[in-house]
Copies of this chain bind each other. A is one copy, B any other.
Amino acid sequence: MVADDSGSKPVTLTDVARLARVSVPTASRVLNGGVRGKASGTPELRRRVEEAARALGYSVSTAAQAIKDGRARTIALIVSDIDDFGSATVIAGVMHAAEERGLSVAVRTTRDDARRELDLLTKLRGERHRAIVLATSRTTDAEREAVLDEHLRLLQAQGASVVLIGDSDLPYPAVTVDNRGAAARLAVGLVDAGHRSFAVISGPTDQVTSRDRVEGFLEGLAERGITVPDDDVIHAPFSRDGGFEAVQRLGDRVGGFDVIAAMSDAMAVGAIASLRDRGIEVPNGIEVTGFDHVPMLGDVLPRFSTVEIPLEAFGEAALSLALDEAEGDERPTRIALPTETIVKGSVYAG
């Protein structure tokens, strides 16, 4: 233990230049493939610089680059929780799309805490991202959304693109799916498959996605002449535990339904667990349906009904919006991606 202390410094361009016996700018030019016309420098000189860089294990400081040209080669992605069912897929999609464009992704989580969300957006301003992709679920709480809008505006003011994933009333480019229509198709499909009495369990009423799905689902049922009493629409957290809780809240009435329609696959899983607690095994006697299409569920539960949301494709769409890769002059401010309705294993596009 000679206490090296690892007081070692990173290798800088200065080190490379010194070893190659050239000036710092020259080294920079060589390593950047020649900023000027084509490749810069005498072959011999290029060789010296490249070899020095390799020998020292040099890698350019992204911080210095960021400070130089005012922005980092990064985009920020904000999700509520990273280990949500959907989030990981969305993140993967964004990362993939970003990588193709030579950008890195900084993932940040809000844990559905409005306060955290604002602090986060403040910090984000200091990180000089090229774009901010906000993939948290938006609410209908006007005041909260207004404050958020304020922060996003500041981000935009410093030159960052802001893109939303999911529905909201905020005035930014957004990638969405037609939750309402998809939910309606699911409802119709379930009725056509022979089901008649439904309980609906979903997330908080002030959450835009949750609201749209419930409304769409009820509309779909209405289309087939079926109405669901308010008491049979339960709102709980939009999560596995929320699904568990929602079924508990249905109490003894649970026996009376053909279907418990959860407005997310996570809630569906919680619902199934809760039913088992009461001694009811799905799908014997009662069926649970979901929304989102977590692939694993389809593998494990035969003939599970749900709606497939193209979570991975969100990333590509969001980045093309964010980086202003619009075709025409009028920038499209909203991309609606298609969903697929899966009823008992049969797929209906839409």
Contacts and interface: CB of A to CB of B under 8 A. Distances in A.
Contact of A8 (B72, B122, B123, B157): B157
A6 to B, nearest CB: 6
A19 interface: no
A114 B50 CA distance: 23
Interface in A82-128: 82-83, 85, 87-89, 91-92, 95, 104-109, 122-128
A62 B62 CA distance: 11
Nearest to A274: B299
A306 to B, nearest CB: 13
Contacts of A159: 6-10
Given A83-B88, A95-B82, A62 B109 contact: no
Nearest to A150: B57
Contacts of A95: 82, 109
A158 interface: yes
Interface in A1-34: 1, 6-11
A63 B74 CA distance: 12
Contacts of A201: none
Contact of A88 (B9, B11, B62, B88): B88
Contacts of A329: 1
A296 interface: yes
A70 B10 contact: yes
A60 B128 CA distance: 10
Contacts of A273: 299-300
Given A63-B66, A276-B302, A57 B125 contact: yes
A350 to B, nearest CB: 25
B158 A9 contact: yes
A106 B108 CA distance: 9
A127 B82 contact: no
Contacts of A126: 59-62
A8 B70 CA distance: 11
A154 interface: yes
A57 to B, nearest CB: 4
A297 B300 contact: yes
A57 B147 CA distance: 13
Interface of A: 1, 6-11, 57, 59-64, 66-67, 70, 72, 81-83, 85, 87-89, 91-92, 95, 104-109, 122-128, 154, 156-159, 240, 269-270, 272-273, 276, 281, 294-297, 299-302, 329
